[in-house]
C-alpha cells in the first residue's frame, strides 16, 4: 500500500511530524500537494467536498487504503502501531501518545508566539502582542516544557537515550523536530537552554543521525524552515 | 477497580471531559483532589516527585490500576475502549479520537480568548489583547469549528444524532461540554450561532438527558461553571 499524505506543500508545519515517521518507517508515500498545481485539488477535495463522510478539520491527513486519518497525533498513533514506532503493549502505547500530545501542546504555543491574536491575521497585524507572548513563552513556558522532557529522558527506566523504552518511537522523531524548530525560531534562547538540557540535545543528534532520517534531511523532500511555517525566526521575538 | 482522577478541585476545566466519560461509563472513581486539603498532596505527588517514572505534564491524569494516563484525549481514548464509549474497530476508534483532538484544539482557543499572552498572567493583565483575540475567535474560529462539527453530524452515515455511529461516544460527551461551556462564556454569540447549528444543539440536549449524565449534572459532583475555568464569562469579551 502507498500512503497518501495531504499537507500544505511549502512548509514543514504539522505535516513534518508525519513525514518524519513515514521516512523512519521506510514507508511508501506520496506527498500529494507537493505534486499538485496551485489550486491543490487533491488537498482541497477532503476539506471542501460535502460528500466526504468523515472530513478532516485541517491538514495534515493521511490516506491509508480506505482510512482517512486526521490530526497529527492521531496519524502518529496509527503509524506507530503499524511500523513498530511505538511499544505494542497498552501502557507503552498510551505513554508514547501522551508524550506526543504534550509535544502537540508545545507546537500550539510556539505557533501562538507569532500569532497570539488570530491565525487568520498577518504577523504584522499582531506584532506588539507577539512580542509580549514570545517573551512570556521564552521566560516561562519553554523552560517548563524542556525541563519536563529532559526529566522524561532522565527517568526512563530503559535509559536516557530515548523518550520511551530503548528504541526509536514517534515521540523521539517529534522531539527531534521540536528541537530543530526551536533552534531555528529562537536561536538565542536555545543557545542558553541547550546547556541545561543535554539529554534533549543528545536525542536530537541521535535522531538526526538515523540513516533514514539523515538521508531524508539531506534530500529535497525536506522543506527548509521558512517564515511561513510554525517555527518562524523573527529576530525581534528573540531579543 | 476504582479509578483515581487527578484534577484541580475547583473548576470543571479539562478534567470535566474525563468526569463525563467516567459518569456515563458508570465507573467507580474517586476525584482525588476534591477530597484533599489545600495543599493537594495527591495531585502534586505526580507532578513534583522525581521518583515518578512517567510523570504527567499537567492535570488531568487518571490512575487505572498500574497505569497513570495523562492528556485528556489520551485518557478518553483509554476509557472509550474500556467502557464501550468508542467503536471497537480501528477506523471507528481513530475517527472518534480525531474528533476528540479537534475538540481539544477548540478548547485551547477558548482558553486563549481570556489568556492570549500568558497562562501564568492574570486576565486583568492581558485585557486589551483578550478583547482582540475574543473578537477574532467569535468572528472566525467559532463559526469554523461549529460549522465543522455540524457537518460531521449531518454526514454521519448512521444518522445525525451522534458524531460517530449510532451510539454515545466520548466525542458526544465532550461536544455536550463544549456547547454548555460556550453558552456560559459567550451567551450572545451562542444565541446567534445555535440557530445555524440545530444538530449540535440537539446533540447537547440528548447527552444532557442521558440518565447517568442527567443525574451527574444535578449532583454536587458537577462543579458549576465559574470565572476560574477554561470557559469564562467576561461580558466585555462577548459585546
Provide the pLDDT confidence category of residue B123 given band limits of 50, 70 and 90: very high
- From CA B217, how far away is CA B239, in angstroms rounded? 29
Taking 90 as the threshold, does the pLDDT of residue B73 lie above it? yes
Nearest partner of A29 among A225, A229, A215, A221, judged by Cα = A221
**Structural domain contains residue B229:** no
- Give me the interface pTM, i.e. the ipTM: 0.98
Q: Is residue B230 part of a domain?
A: no
Indicate yes or no: CB of B140 within 8 angstroms of CB of A120: yes
Distances in Å between the alpha carbon of B9 and those of A236, B34, B89, B111, B224? 40, 5, 35, 18, 12
The pLDDT, as a whole number, for residue A28 is: 98
Burial (CB count <10 Å: 0-12, 13-18, 19+), residue A152: buried
Q: Which residues of B are less than 8 Å from A118 in CB distance?
A: 132-133, 136-137, 140-141
Question: What are the chain B neighbours of A150 within 8 Å (beta carbons)?
Answer: none
Residues with pLDDT less than 70, chain A: 239
Question: Does B150 contact A at CB distance below 8 Å?
Answer: no
Task: Tell me if residue A195 falls in helix, strand or coil.
Answer: helix
Enclosing H/E stretch for A41: helix A41-48
Last residue of a domain, one of A83, A113, A132: A83
> Residue A183, Cβ neighbours under 10 Å: how many?
19
A107 and A30 inside one domain: no
Cα→Cα distances A171→A108, A167, A168, B33, B60, Å = 16, 11, 8, 30, 20
* Whether A101 and B71 lie within 8 Å, measured CB to CB: yes
- Residue A201 sits in a domain whose CATH number is 1.20.1050.10
B167/B63 same-domain check: no
Strand partners, B4: B30, B63
| Inter-chain residue contact A117 with B94, CB threshold 8 Å | no
Asked if residue A80 lies in contact with residue A169, where contact means CB atoms within 8 angstroms, the answer is yes
Distance from CA of A229 to the nearest CA of B (A): 18
Domain containing residue A168: 90-217
DSSP class of A235: G
Chain B residues within an 8 Å CB radius of A156: 53
pTM above 0.95, yes or no: yes
A108 and A177 housed in the same domain? yes
Same domain, residue pair B79 and B96:
no
Tell me how far apart the alpha carbons of residues B133 and A11 are, in angstroms, rounded to a whole number.
25
The pLDDT value given to residue B239: 63
Beta carbons of A94 and B77 less than 8 Å apart: yes
- Tell me, what's the pLDDT at A37? 79
Residues A73 and A186 both lie in one domain: no
Which phi-psi region, left, alpha or beta, contains residue B165 (left: φ > 0; alpha: ψ -120 to 50)? left
Q: What is the mean pLDDT of residues B200-218?
A: 98
Spatial separation of the C-alpha atoms in residues B192 and B162, rounded to whole Å:
23
pLDDT of residue A38: 81
Q: Is the dihedral of CA A171, A176, A180, A182 positive or negative?
A: positive
Grid coordinates standing for B198? 440545530
- Asked if residue A162 belongs to a domain, the reply is yes
The answer to the question of residue A188 being in a domain is yes
Residue for grid cell 475555568: B229
Q: Domain boundary at B48, B83, B118, which?
A: B83
Cell of A13: 508545519
How near does any CA of chain B get to the CA of A215, in Å? 31
Yes or no: say if B94 and A78 are a contact pair by the CB < 8 Å rule. yes
How many whole angstroms separate alpha carbon A107 and alpha carbon B158? 35
In a domain? residue B163: yes
Q: Sort strands A67-70 and A61-64 into parallel, antiparallel or unpaired.
A: antiparallel
CATH number for position B73: 3.40.30.10
User: Using alpha carbons only, what angle is made at residue B104 by residues B100 and B107, rounded to the nearest 5 degrees?
Assistant: 140
**Dihedral over Cα of A207, A210, A212, A218: its sign:** positive
CA proximity to A218, closest of A227, A208, A226, A228: A208
Contact A129 B140 (CB under 8 A): no
Q: Count of domains in chain B?
A: 2
Of B69, B87, B188, give the one whose Cα is nearest residue A93. B69
Q: Are B136 and A116 within 8 A, CB to CB?
A: no
| Closest Cβ opposite residue A74 in set B67, B98, B156 | B98
Where is B207: in which H helix or E strand? helix B198-208
* Neighbour count for residue A146 (Cβ, 10 Å): 20
Q: Residue B137's pLDDT is what? A: 98
Same domain for B209 and B132?
A: yes
3 state SS of A125:
helix
Asked, for residue B224, whether it belongs to a domain, the answer is no
Residues with Cβ within 8 Å of B35's Cβ and at least 6 positions away in sequence, in order, are none
Which grid cell is B69? 494516563
- Among B83, B107, B129, the domain-final residue is B83
- Predicted pLDDT at A239: 63
Q: Name the grid cell of A14.
A: 504539522
Residues A10 and A113 in one domain: no
Q: Is A55 an interface residue toward B (CB < 8 Å)?
A: yes
pLDDT in tens, A197-225: 999 999 999 999 999 999 999 999 999 99
Q: What is the residue whose three cell numbers read 483578550?
A: B130
Q: Do A133 and B117 touch (CB under 8 A)?
A: yes
Q: Taking all residues of chain B, what is their mean pLDDT, rounded to a whole number?
A: 97
CB contact under 8 A, B136 and A120: yes
In a domain, A191, yes or no: yes
Residues 196-225 of A with CB under 8 A from B: none
For A38-62, what is each residue's pLDDT tens digit?
889 999 999 999 999 999 999 999 9
Whether residues A96 and A78 share a domain: the answer is: no
Among all chains, which residue has been given the C-alpha cell 474525563? B18
Q: Indicate whether B211 and B102 sit together in one domain.
A: yes
Same domain, A98 and A132: yes
Q: Which of A166, A164, A173 is nearest to A21 (CA)?
A: A173
* Residues in B 100-139 with any Cβ partner in A closer than 8 A: 101-102, 105, 108, 112, 116-121, 126, 129, 132-133, 136-137
Cβ-count burial A96-135 (b if 16+ within 10 Å, e if not): bbbbbbbbbbbbebbbbbbbbbbeeeeeeebeebbbbbbb
Q: Are residues A151 and A105 in the same domain?
A: yes
Coil, strand or helix at B236 = helix
Instruction: Please tell me whether residues A104 and A13 are part of one structural domain.
Output: no
Phi, psi of B35 (to 5 degrees): -100, 0
Is residue B101 assigned to a domain? yes
Amino acid at each position: 500500500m502507498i500512503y497518501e499524505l495531504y499537507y500544505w506543500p511549502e512548509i514543514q508545519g504539522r505535516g513534518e511530524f508525519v513525514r518524519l515517521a513515514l521516512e523512519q518507517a521506510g514507508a511508501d508515500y506520496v506527498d500529494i500537494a507537493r505534486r499538485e498545481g496551485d489550486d491543490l485539488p487533491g488537498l482541497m477535495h477532503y476539506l471542501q467536498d460535502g460528500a466526504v463522510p468523515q472530513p478532516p478539520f485541517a491538514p495534515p491527513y493521511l490516506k491509508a487504503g480506505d482510512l482517512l486519518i486526521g490530526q497529527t497525533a492521531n496519524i502518529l498513533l496509527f503509524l506507530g502501531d503499524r511500523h513498530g514506532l511505538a511499544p505494542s503493549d497498552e501502557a507503552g502505547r498510551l505513554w508514547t501518545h501522551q508524550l506526543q500530545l504534550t509535544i502537540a501542546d508545545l507546537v500550539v504555543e510556539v505557533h501562538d508566539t507569532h500569532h497570539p491574536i488570530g491565525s487568520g491575521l498577518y504577523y504584522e497585524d499582531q506584532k506588539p502582542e507577539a512580542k509580549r507572548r514570545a517573551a512570556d513563552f521564552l521566560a516561562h513556558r519553554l523552560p517548563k516544557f524542556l525541563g519536563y522532557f529532559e526529566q522524561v529522558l532522565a527517568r526512563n527506566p530503559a535509559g536516557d537515550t530515548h523518550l520511551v523504552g530503548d528504541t526509536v518511537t514517534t515521540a523521539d522523531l517529534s522531539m527531534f523536530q521540536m528541537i530543530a524548530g526551536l533552534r531555528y525560531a529562537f536561536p538565542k534562547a536555545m543557545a542558553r537552554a541547550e546547556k541545561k538540557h543535554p539529554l534533549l540535545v543528545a536525542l536530537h543528534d541521535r535522531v538526526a543521525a538515523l540513516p533514514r532520517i539523515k538521508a531524508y534531511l539531506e534530500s529535497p523532500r525536506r522543506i527548509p524552515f521558512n517564515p511561513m511555517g510554525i517555527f518562524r525566526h523573527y529576530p525581534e521575538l528573540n531579543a
